[in-house]
Amino acid sequence: MKLLRYGAPEKEKPGVALPNGKRIDISEFVADVNGALLGNLDRLAIWVDANQNSAPAISLNERLGPPITGVSKLIGVGLNYAQHATEAGMTLPTEPLIFFKSTTAITGPYDNVIIPKGAMKVDWEVELAFVIGKKAQYVSREQAMDFVAGYLIHNDISEREYQFERAGQWVKGKSCDTFAPLGPYLVTKDEIGDPHRLNLWLKVNGELVQNSNTADLVFSIPEIVANISQYMTLLPGDIISTGTPFGVGFGLQPPRYLKAGDVMELGVDGLGMQRQLLVSAVH
């Protein structure tokens, strides 16, 4: 299934995109798409099959919000593509390099991205992210995929001065408002054959700047789940983003950063695509 949420910000309703492209409201079955729903996907699939013709249709003109809410943790994995580590001038990690993004950065896949006041080094990062479906503690690599509910696109937008030139951790450069566009869909695991064989790409103003495949991941999804679950409990609805391939702005010569009026378009095989307009902060 392709789960979605639609409507005005903070007032979204739950829905599903059917294989024929039709979108239906599933509010009769569940109040929202959150971690609790991920334990009832089999029941939801039965409901959708029985009610897809009678459930209210969602207009294709409706805004799509982030496809899941109530996220307790949004975790990034840094330098997880070898060529990206090279362009960043950093040593390849020997185990997953993890960082947090504030959940207040989460926004919809087509919402505007706000350039923070005074920011000069806003950058793009197309990423495959996955969603935890059940509580995970001390998970083995062999068990890890049992804890994955599905996948979604994450544009891991970053302010490089905040990330690298200010004191402290990467979280400061990753957590500004609108710096985590998610979706358009949360695609359940059964719809993606091999998440380690997906093309992913990103364009800025129509120019292709990132074009790679998740086959180049340094650490696989099972390795990531096993590693992170040794350090913290993962809860249903938690999102882990697997890293970005080469082609980010700060890796170019000379570096290139986003400005108001720029447009990003990005996609991952089987997960849809996103589009964002860059706008300046108003305060």
For residue 213, give both structure tokens: 């495949």
CB atoms within 10 A of CB 202: 27
Long-range contacts of 78-81 (CB under 8 A, 24+ apart): 78/170, 78/243, 79/218, 79/243, 80/217, 80/218, 80/219, 80/242, 80/243, 80/244, 81/212, 81/216, 81/217, 81/218, 81/243, 81/244, 81/245, 81/246
User: What would the mean pLDDT of 210-224 be, rounded to a whole number?
Assistant: 97
pLDDT at 153: 99
Q: What is the 3-state secondary structure (H, E, C) of 158-176?
A: EEHHHHHHCCCCCHHHHCC
Give me the DSSP letters along 173-195: HH-STT-EEB-S-EEEGGG-S-T
For the segment 248-277, what is each residue's pLDDT rounded down to a tens digit? 999 999 999 999 999 999 999 999 999 999
| 51: three-class secondary structure by DSSP | helix
pLDDT at 4 over 90: yes
For the segment 104-141, what is each residue's pLDDT rounded down to a tens digit? 999 999 999 999 999 999 999 999 999 999 999 999 99
What is the pLDDT confidence band of residue 283, given thresholds at 50, 70 and 90? Answer: low
Question: So where are the chain's domains?
Answer: 2-51, 74-280
CB atoms within 10 A of CB 167: 5
What backbone phi and psi angles, to 5 degrees, belong to 82? -60, -45
pLDDT at 89 over 90: no
User: What would the mean pLDDT of 19-25 be, rounded to a whole number?
Assistant: 97
Q: Which CATH architecture has domain 74-280?
A: Alpha-Beta Complex (3.90)
Mean residue pLDDT across the chain: 96
